[in-house]
């Protein structure tokens, strides 16, 4: 028999930035007595937005966690970001949830962030509750929001409560199942008293009660049959069918309220406690065997073999690395040894910690469903699986969202360059959407992320956590140079006499263009003894070094074959250095005579946009010298596949956001190099010469 009654359940708060998720989190924690006073985002006193960058921007930038109890049940609140640049953290952290509360602003209604986090919930098959927030604000409209939810997400909403009063006159909610009005004190305490439904609401209550009953009975065939036969349903039958429907995802309940006034929050908590499934009710734990895709299944209970997923990492300059994991099955004690099946290593866990907002509380044991943390593990990173070595299982973690924007970075103080790189490596462990690369051709360190705010926030955290400051600059495009034509018998003589032993070397080359991405081919075709064979490596080395800086604009030279077929030497004055210099100069002369051209990187792009703006986006791509390769439909969106020069899309995320109202997204990776049109090449060459002055 599956044991569920004492399991903790993890609730994800999701929604567009600014919808009031964190204010709702505060009200939930306050009502459940997990915190003693109601914090506010606006004055920086929130329990969940505690990082300095969050307080400064007054927005959630990283997922926060806090346990609470409600009516003898245990929960863990997961307050996720709604800002577009940080939605990858939301996606990754929802792996640990059993259900979600979608918070929607009653004034601004559904925004693009709401649609994106809704899709994450669907991907994980998580039950959803909807809290329509800010109904005390001017221009708020509960029924308009309900209509928009149904149109946007193609679902039947089930408002279990209706608001009493509008805007500044919001005073309570009506329970449509029990047919009672809950009238609130206007003091933020969340206290209310039950009353009869106001006469003015009798008609709308009757209309909506009929609608929600039609939705609820769909969750149970027997109850539906009874309802369709015209038989009266008891309040208990309705409630039990409602709970069944929410757990299965058939019913999406809606609660109206105001987080800052603490209206409707208690009712939301009652529904959470009744209808969010326990981990064991979500089905068996599924993974695969070590070194095999063969399925492994456990029950999500304490009695099953231990397994856990590391879904988030925090970097702390003092405490070191903190790994957050959800116990998926079984249980684990502090100071235990676990097997990291992803890395195939054993890890010794130290003290287990429970995350409570900014605080960390030591715990002795973590059971199935618990989110715990542990510090200073040597090998473990985000996405790894913990288990017992004699019962191995490996989980497939969620993929973080791909970076969409890159900046070149430089240390403000030269002596901090090494510290910048090591500190960034720590932040990359914490945030898998960050990527740090060194572009060999431009010698720049490239920092990539999911948006400008994301990278600016990374810059701020580098300064606060590690004491290093960086500048963000638009990166240089890694152009390449090559040749269009072949040339034969290119001769260069290096001769230098300055008293005593001189320098002498003469090399004869043929030069040929290669196909794209074929690199560099060196052919030694010497006949006779004009050039001793021991100088051949120096000739090749001279060419390779010369290829690092081309003759047009100083970019690396690629896709060239050199045939070294003859030369001359001097028995005293010839040396490796002389032949290296001669080879370098002969190579540059050969390239100059073989019609040098500039190449630019071409990116493969997949752009997902609403159908109504597809024409604008395609037109914009054409203006960027892009080639549209095809289109596919995905729900209400179109996926445009295109090839576009990198130089044209360095700041594409800003422009796509503008064109689509934030509803567009894209992924890109480098495809190949192509010749740059002549008029653009001239500008690049002249710009390079100006820069070199």
262: left (phi over 0), alpha (psi -120 to 50) or beta: left
Q: How far is the C-alpha of 245 from the C-alpha of 589, rounded, in Å?
A: 77
User: Residue 310: pLDDT above 90?
Assistant: yes
Q: Which of 509, 684, 511 is nearest to 599 (CA)?
A: 684
Q: Tell me, what's the pLDDT at 317? A: 63
User: Residue 68: pLDDT above 90?
Assistant: yes
Q: Which of 84, 22, 67, 7 is nearest to 452 (CA)?
A: 84
Confidence of residue 2 (pLDDT cuts 50, 70, 90): very low
User: Residue 635: pLDDT above 80?
Assistant: no
Structure confidence by residue, pLDDT tens digits, 231-287? 888 888 888 999 999 998 899 999 999 999 999 999 999 999 999 999 999 989 899
User: Residue 450: pLDDT above 70?
Assistant: yes
Question: What sign for the dihedral angle of Cα 451, 455, 456, 458?
Answer: positive
Mean pLDDT of 206-227: 91
- pLDDT over 70 for what percent of the chain? 97
User: Is residue 382 a contact partner of residue 397, using CB atoms and an 8 Å limit?
Assistant: yes
pTM for the structure as a whole: 0.82
Q: Tell me, what's the pLDDT at 3? A: 45
Inter-CA distances, 512 with 515, 538, 674, Å: 10, 20, 18
Q: Tell me, what's the pLDDT at 332? A: 95
Mean pLDDT of 133-148: 94
Higher confidence at residue 42 or residue 549?
549
User: Residue 52: pLDDT above 80?
Assistant: no
Mean pLDDT of 373-382: 92
49-58, 149-158, 322-331, 379-388: which has the minimum mean pLDDT?
A: 49-58
- Three-state SS annotation for 134-198: CCCCCCCCHHHHHHHHHHHHCCCEEECEEEECCHHHCCEEEECCCCEEEEECCCCCCCEEEECCC
Q: Tell me, what's the pLDDT at 693? A: 40
Mean pLDDT of 656-666: 86
Q: Tell me, what's the pLDDT at 315? A: 74
Q: Tell me, what's the pLDDT at 57? A: 75
Q: Tell me, what's the pLDDT at 673? A: 94
Confidence of residue 358 (pLDDT cuts 50, 70, 90): confident
6-20, 214-228, 428-442: which has the minimum mean pLDDT?
A: 428-442
Q: Tell me, what's the pLDDT at 515? A: 94
Q: Tell me, what's the pLDDT at 499? A: 64
Q: Tell me, what's the pLDDT at 692? A: 58
Mean pLDDT of 585-598: 96
Rg (CA), the chain: 32
Mean pLDDT of 594-613: 93
User: Residue 408: pLDDT above 80?
Assistant: yes
User: Residue 125: pLDDT above 90?
Assistant: yes
Structure confidence by residue, pLDDT tens digits, 521-551? 999 999 888 999 999 999 999 999 999 999 9
Q: Write down all domains in the chain, each with its CATH number in brackets.
A: 9-277 (3.40.50.300), 285-387 (2.40.30.10), 410-473 (3.30.70.870), 481-594 (3.30.230.10), 598-692 (3.30.70.240)
Highest mean pLDDT among 2-16, 96-110, 446-460: 96-110
Q: How far is the C-alpha of 286 from the C-alpha of 103, rounded, in Å?
A: 30
Confidence of residue 184 (pLDDT cuts 50, 70, 90): very high
Can you list the pairs that 70-73 forms with residues at least 24 positions away whose Cβ atoms lie under 8 Å?
70/31, 70/32, 70/269, 70/270, 70/272, 70/273, 71/270, 71/273, 73/9, 73/273
User: Residue 5: pLDDT above 60?
Assistant: no
Higher confidence at residue 293 or residue 44?
293
Q: Tell me, what's the pLDDT at 623? A: 94
Tokens standing for residue 332 = 């684990």
User: Residue 1: pLDDT above 60?
Assistant: no
User: Residue 4: pLDDT above 60?
Assistant: no
């Amino acid at each position: 028999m599956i044991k569920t009654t004492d399991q903790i359940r993890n609730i994800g708060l999701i929604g567009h930035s600014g919808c009031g998720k964190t204010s709702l989190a505060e009200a939930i924690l306050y009502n459940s007595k997990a915190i003693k006073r109601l914090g506010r985002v606006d004055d920086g006193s929130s329990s969940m937005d505690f990082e300095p960058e969050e307080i400064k921007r007054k927005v959630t930038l990283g997922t926060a966690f806090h346990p609470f109890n409600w009516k003898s049940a245990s929960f863990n609140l997961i307050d996720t970001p709604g800002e577009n640049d940080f939605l990858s953290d939301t996606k990754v952290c929802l792996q640990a949830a059993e259900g979600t509360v979608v918070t929607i602003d009653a004034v601004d209604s559904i925004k693009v962030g709401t649609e994106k986090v809704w899709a994450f919930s669907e991907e994980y098959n998580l039950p959803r509750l909807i809290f329509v927030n800010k109904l005390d604000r001017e221009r708020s409209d509960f029924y308009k929001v309900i209509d928009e939810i149904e149109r946007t997400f193609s679902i039947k909403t089930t408002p279990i409560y209706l608001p009493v009063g509008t805007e500044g006159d919001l005073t309570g909610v009506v329970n449509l199942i029990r047919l009672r009005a809950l009238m609130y004190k206007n003091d933020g305490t969340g206290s209310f008293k039950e009353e009869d439904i106001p006469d003015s609401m009798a008609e709308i209550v009757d209309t909506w009660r009929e609608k929600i009953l039609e939705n609820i009975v769909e969750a149970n065939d027997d109850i539906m049959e009874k309802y369709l036969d015209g038989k009266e349903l008891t309040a208990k039958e309705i409630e039990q069918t409602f709970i069944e429907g929410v757990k299965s995802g058939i019913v999406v309940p809606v609660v109206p309220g105001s987080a800052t006034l603490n209206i409707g929050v208690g009712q939301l908590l009652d529904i959470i406690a009744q209808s969010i499934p326990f981990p064991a009710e979500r089905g068996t734990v599924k993974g695969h065997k070590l070194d095999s895709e063969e399925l492994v299944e456990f029950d999500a209970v304490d009695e099953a073999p231990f397994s856990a997923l590391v879904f988030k990492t925090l970097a702390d300059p003092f405490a070191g690395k903190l790994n957050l994991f959800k116990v998926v099955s079984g249980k684990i004690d502090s100071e235990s040894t676990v097997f990291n099946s992803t890395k195939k290593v054993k890890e010794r866990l130290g003290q287990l910690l429970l995350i409570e907002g900014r605080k960390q509380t030591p715990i002795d044991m973590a059971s199935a469903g618990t989110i715990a943390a542990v510090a200073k593990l040597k090998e473990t990173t985000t996405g790894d699986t913990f288990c017992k070595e004699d019962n191995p299982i490996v989980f497939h973690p969620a993929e973080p969202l791909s970076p969409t924007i890159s900046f070149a970075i430089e240390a403000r103080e030269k002596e901090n360059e090494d510290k910048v790189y090591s500190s960034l490596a720590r932040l990359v462990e914490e945030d898998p959407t960050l990527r740090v690369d060194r572009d060999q051709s431009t010698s720049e360190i490239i920092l990539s992320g999911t948006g400008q705010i994301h990278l600016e926030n990374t810059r701020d955290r580098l300064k606060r956590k590690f004491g290093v400051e960086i500048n963000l600059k638009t990166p240089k495009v890694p152009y390449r140079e090559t040749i269009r034509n072949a040339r034969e018998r290119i001769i260069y003589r290096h001769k230098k006499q300055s008293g005593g032993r001189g320098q002498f070397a003469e090399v004869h080359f043929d030069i040929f263009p290669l196909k794209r991405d074929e690199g560099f081919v060196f052919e030694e075709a010497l006949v006779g003894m004009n050039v001793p064979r021991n100088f051949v490596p120096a000739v090749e080395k001279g060419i390779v070094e010369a290829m690092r800086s081309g003759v047009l604009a100083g970019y690396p030279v690629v896709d060239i074959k050199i045939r070294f077929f003859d030369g001359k030497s001097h028995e005293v004055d010839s040396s490796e250095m002389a032949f290296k210099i001669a080879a370098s100069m002969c190579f540059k002369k050969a390239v100059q005579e073989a019609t040098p051209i500039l190449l630019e990187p071409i990116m493969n792009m997949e752009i997902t946009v609403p159908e109504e703006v597809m024409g604008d986006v395609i037109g914009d791509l054409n203006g960027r010298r892009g080639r549209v390769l095809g289109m596919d439909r995905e729900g209400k969106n179109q996926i445009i596949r295109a090839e576009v020069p990198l130089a044209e899309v360095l700041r594409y995320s800003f422009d796509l956001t503008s064109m689509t109202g934030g509803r567009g997204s894209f992924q890109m990776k480098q495809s190949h190099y192509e010749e740059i049109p002549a008029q653009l090449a001239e500008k690049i060459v002249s710009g390079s010469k100006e820069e070199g002055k």
